[in-house]
Every structure is written in structure tokens, then in C-alpha cells.
Structure 1
């Protein structure tokens, strides 16, 4: 049987897709470096990808696709800088100087990075985007979009805000970065702890968002876990970095195969879980411990996952331990997701009514948050309020992007609403 021939257009599309997945954040950062203009960087890079899909099938894929894309986008930037419209808002000399500077300091900063300091370029760019001059409430969404490649709609779902509001927030942030000339430079080691909380949030967000599409998200979840472990090893003695590594590793130990049926945690067979990852995650969690120091958010979340994973050994879930850990978690980090999970655990361990009371006390953003409706459906079903439970499950299914989870929630709605 002879070799399989790949259509030139298909080959070009495959290479462009790989470049977008692996190099998008780095290319945007390089293009944004001279003027801090993320919008312009994204626009010109998008035009470069469009041109690639037009010219590569005809002329062949270049030896260095990322370099080709960068050069085309740079040239487009220079054309815009020289345009009459741009000259009205910025001097031509400054624009040309900025373009020339692109190939000097910033490229050296990112390309010649000491691998012993930040061995992963995506991680380096996360620290770049956690600059203290960028508004704190937009740093994580910005990293999720610019470096990790999620669109505004997916990020909005994670933060339980309207997609249009998140899109506007990101656009405003990029313009402020441009106007304030925030430098796109990798921070020194001494500045990393200050930026670490937002980097960890972005890595955690990447992992959580990847499970909204378990088919394509599996590789993203693996990348997020890699970034978490790399960050912990890089900084050495940061408890929350090791805690995030533990959290994502323990959660990965229970991850179902992509494309398989969705099963809630309590319906999963512990015999199918990865014992090696459980042991690795537990080792990371032990390393995160500091005598006399109160645990942080990720340490508590990792401890929660460790309790769940311990069912593989003990054969039962320690609900009292989960209640204690979730109560501590919502006391120090009352996120919407944490409060929903806390209510669900109280509903299991104490009473469905107590859990439902906690759910109903959540802010209005809960209505856009899929886990809220799923947890509410479960608690209402336990209380015998079948019609309300069916409506909650139906709403949860409508907010789900994972087909398997949507099918599961649909079945739960039918069961709750049936005779």
C-alpha cells in the first residue's frame, strides 16, 4: 500500500491549526510588545492566518510557519502604523521605532529565556500578562484568552457573566494596556510571587474550562496540569503552587475517557481511577503543607479531591471531612463554584433542605452558572419536588456544552418529571 497523500489545503489547515494552538499566545505577545496594543496584535495575527490559508496550499507550507506568520503580521502592523489614520494619533517615527525594537529586546527576552527560570513559554507569557498595571479583575480572563486561547464566551461562562460583558471587559483591558504602554517583558524571579495568584487562577481556569468540552478538552487539561506542576517546581517553596499541582493531578486521576458517558462523582467506579496519579497528587499535597500556616484556597480544594480519591481505598466517602473542608474553603474563598459545591455537600451530608437553603442564598449570577442548576435539581429531587427538579435539570442541560453531560442531565430531568 502506497503512502497516503494529503491534500495541500488540508496540510496547510493542519499546520495553521497547530501553530494557533501552540504559538498563538507567544505570537500575540511578540506583536503587542512595541506598543502594548493587544487588539492590533490579535487583528494582524488573524490576518496572517487568513493569508496562510490562502497562500500555503498554493506555495507550500514554509519551513518555519510561526516565523512566517510573525513576519506577515509585523508587516501588516507597519503598514497600519504608516497609514494616514494612524499618523493622526501617533507619530510615524515612534511607530517605526517601535516596530524596529520588536526584533531586539522582546524577542531576546522570550526566545533566549533561561530554561532554568521559566522552562515553558506559555508560562512565561502568563507571568507577563499578570503585570500589576493590568486591572486585577481582568488579569485571569486576559490570560485565558490571549495566552491559553479561550474565547470570550467560554470565559464568560466560567465567571458567570454575560458573554457581551466579558467581551467588553477584555476589549477595554487591551486598550488600557495599549494606552498605558504596559511593558510585555518576562518578570524577574523576585517579581513572580506577586503575580503568582493570577497565574494559578488562569491555569486552574484552563483546566476547568477544558472539561466543558471533554472531547477536545482532554489535551488542554493535560497542558494545564503540566503548567501547574512546572510552576510549582519553578518556584520551589510556594504552597499554593504545589496545591494547584495536587488539585489538578488528583482530579485528573478520576477523569473519564473523552467521548465516554458522563458519570457524576458518586456514580463512578473507583477501580477505574488512576492509582499512580492519586499517589502523585497526594505527594504534591504533602509538599504543600506548612506547619503553623493556614491552608490556602487551592490547598483546601486539593484536600477535598484527596478525600474523594480516598474512596478508592476506604470504599466510602468521608462526608464529615468534606463538610469541614468546604466550610473552610467558602470562608476564605467564597467563589460561586465553591459555594455551590458546599451547598451540594451539605445537602448530602446533612439534609437536602439545608443545602437548598444555601443555594437560594447565592447571588443573582447563579442563574447563568450551570453547576448551580444541576445541584439544585439533585436537592429538589431528594426533597420530592419533582417538577421543580425537572425544570432545574433542564436548565442545567441547556447551559452545558458537553454532549454527554447534556444527555445525562436530560435523563435526570425525564426521571424527575416522570410518573
Structure 2
């Protein structure tokens, strides 16, 4: 019996990993009620853990789960429905589900659900968490931990977002051509936001962020699969893979931070880099150019050091200059200044840093770290030490703080 229960749990976990989002999307797309779809599916998984050890894992686990979930969903709506019109609506939903289940297959509505989660009516700050929950089945507590907010706050935000989808009648569909660009950008930003949260844990050791980057990459793969003609989707996946390929090299054996310029390129994942470059080439086949394709190209230029032994800073500076034409981000401006400093001379980079007019940089650690590095290269060790001190005070990662402190100490010794 214990073996049967273990097999049932393994089958349920596999079905959740592969089909959770597809099942939720199918149920919710017909009712616009994401919360009820999730509840019905949760009941179905609970039933599976009871039934499957007794009867064996069904030949089509997803079909079994959908059958149980749609019955729960219809029961839920029946209890809420009022009048004959409501009953007719439920009967139509039931007949449609029966016909599709009879064919032991159902349509993939995940892309529509993703676009619904990133709809303009949904607050930008909750889009990524909503996609993580609706498509991947993350619970609110896990998402809250990853995004560093309280479980209660995150739970409230998710509940409000799902209510907004239902109340506003947000459609589960790919937007029309006229609005696709803006809406797709919101989807890509949400996925990248999830990746960035996971990337903030370089060693993948913090439970609150563990696997978040890999889940974002999974979402990126899904988007490329469902939208093969979108170059920016391929560009985003390429960007994430290039960054993830370097994860193992971001810490040394003692757990100390290693900056990109000092990383052992043999510790980079060559297969992942090759896949990222193939995706970047694929993205280049499509018209236009976008943020993620340029950012992926920048990361590809850094990755080339693995085979050439050098970093082409001139190319990277040119790419950042191109990226600046698409975005007014001060972060891009800082990176462009650093690339110019290495490609030309530190003084040019410092001049570009000084020209950035954005008060937010006062609290932005990478700005001060970059400034300290360029001042050091220019021979102004006193001012560089002051910049390192500010950067250290702004840094929250203990390993990075120690790295900055060592850099400052080395300056003092000089």
C-alpha cells in the first residue's frame, strides 16, 4: 500500500508539473474565474491521492484530473447560479467538457491565461506572482517569500487580481495585432521579474528563492513554444539562459562572490550557452529589434570570452548604446558607461556616469560600485575608496559586501 501511495503521489506531482497551468487555463477560460478553477483542481489532486493508491494511476492522469475538477467547478457554479439562465449556461459548459473529455484531449489555453494575468487592468507588481500561481501552481506563501513580502499581503494581492479578472471579464486570448506588442511586453516583463528574483540568489541556496529562476526559464520555454514567431520571446529565453549558465561561477568554493570579469569560464554551462546563442540567432530572423534581443546579445558577447579569452568591450558598448535608444533606464546608462570605460578609457566612462541625471542612483549599489571601479582605474584611489564605502553600505548580500570591502582595503594598501 505504501508503494502504491508513493506511485500515486509521484504521478500526481508529474501531472502538476506538466499540466497544472493547462488544466487551470482550460477551466478558467470558460468561467473567467481563476480562483474557482484553482480550487476545483486542488480538490481533484486531493481526490487523486485518495483514489489512485486504490485503483492504480489512470492511463491518462490529466484527463482524470480534469474530469473531477470540472465536476467540482460545475458544482461550485451551480451553487452560485440563480435562475434558469444560469442553469442553461452550466449545461452548455458541461456538454462542452463532456465532448472534449470523450476525445481524451483538451485545448491548451495557457497562453490566454498568461495574457489575462498580464492584462493592463492587473497591477504590474502582481503580474509575475499571478502567473507563477496560475500557471505553475505556486502557493501564496512561497511566492510571498520569493518576492520578500508577507504571505498575508501577497495572498490579498492575488485574490484581488483574480477578482479583477472575473469582474472585468478579462478575456483569455492572444491580443489582436494592434495591441499585441504592448501586451506581450507586459508578459515578458512579468516572466523576467520572476527570473530576476531567483537570480538574486546566486547559489540557489535560499529556500524563498530556490528554483524561481528555473521556473521562469520554464515559462520562457513555454512562451517560445506557444509563440514561435515572436523574436522577443526567444530573446528573453536566450537572455535568461545566458545568465543562468554562469550561476555556478558566481561563488567560489568558500562561497565568496566572484565578479563576471574574474569568473572561471570553464565553470560556465557550455550547453546552456550554446542553446542561448541558437535562440539569439533564431530571434534575429524576425523583423524589428527589441530590448531582450539586445540584452541577450550583450550576454552573448560576455560569453564569448569562454572561447576567445577576451571581452569585446567595444561591441558591448555599442550594444548598450543601442539599448539606450529603446529605454531611458539609468541602469542601462550605468552599464554603458562601464563598457565605454573599458573600451576607450576610464575618464570617458566617468564622464558618462556624471552625465546621468537620476536621483535614484544615489541609492543604487551598482552605480557606486561602478564609480569606485572606474575611479580606481583612473588612479583616484581616495575617491574610489569613498565610493566603495557607499556601495558597501547599500549592499544587502553579505558575500558581495565582503568583496567590496576587500576592494576598498586593497586601495587603502596602495
User: What is the TM-score with the length of structure 1 in the denominator?
Assistant: 0.68
Contact 1:343–1:359 (8 Å) recurs in 2: no
Distance 1:279 1:193 in 2: 28
Say which SS state the counterpart of residue 36 (structure 1) adopts. Answer: coil
RMSD: 4.9
Alignment counterpart, residue 322 of structure 1, candidates 313, 316, 323: 316
Give the SS at the match of 2:42: helix
The 5 A counterparts of 1:193-272 are 196-205=184-193, 207-212=195-200, 214=204, 216=211, 220=215, 223-224=218-219, 226-227=221-222, 229-230=224-225, 234-235=228-229, 238-256=230-248, 263-272=258-267
The yes-or-no answer on 1:130 pairing with 2:115 is yes
> Does the alignment pair 1:409 with 2:400?
yes
Of residues 159, 162, 173 in structure 1, which corresponds to 2:161? 173
Q: Which runs of 5+ in 1 are unaligned?
A: 114-120, 398-405
Structure 2: which 5+ residue stretches go unaligned? 205-209, 377-383
Post-superposition CA distance 1:108-152 (Å, at most 9, x none): 999455xxxxxxx5xx51244325993265585343431244566
How far apart are the structure 2 equivalents of 1:245 and 1:75?
37
Equivalent residue, structure 1, for 2:20: 24
> Is residue 80 from structure 1 mapped to residue 76 from structure 2 by the alignment?
yes
Superposition deviation, residue 339 in structure 1: 6.2
- Distance in 2 (alpha carbons) for counterparts of 1:75 and 1:363: 52
Q: Which residue of 2 aligns with 1:302?
A: 296
Structure 1 equivalent of residue 36 of structure 2: 40
Cα deviation, 1:212-236, whole Å, max 9, x if unaligned, reads 563635753653453365356x32x
Query: Partner residue of 2:394?
Result: 392
Which fold has the larger relative contact order, with Cα–Cα distance below 8 Å and residues 6 or more apart in sequence? 1
CA deviations on 1:23-56 (whole Å, 9 max, x unpaired) are 2111211221332101111223233334444555
Listed one character per residue, the Cα deviations across residues 136-172 of structure 1 (whole Å, up to 9, x for unaligned) are 6558534343124456677779989988766545433
Q: Tell me by how many angstroms 1:387 deviates.
A: 4.8
Task: Tell whether the 8 Å contact from 1:35 to 1:98 is kept in structure 2 after alignment.
Answer: no
Query: Which protein shows a greater Rg?
Result: 2
Deviations 1:313-356 (A, max 9, x none): 44232334333433432442346865675576578774797787
Residue 207 of structure 2 corresponds to: none
The alpha-carbon deviation at position 269 of structure 1 amounts to 1.8
Contact 1:206–1:224 (CA under 8 A) maintained in structure 2: no
Report the Cα offset of residue 301 of structure 1. 0.6
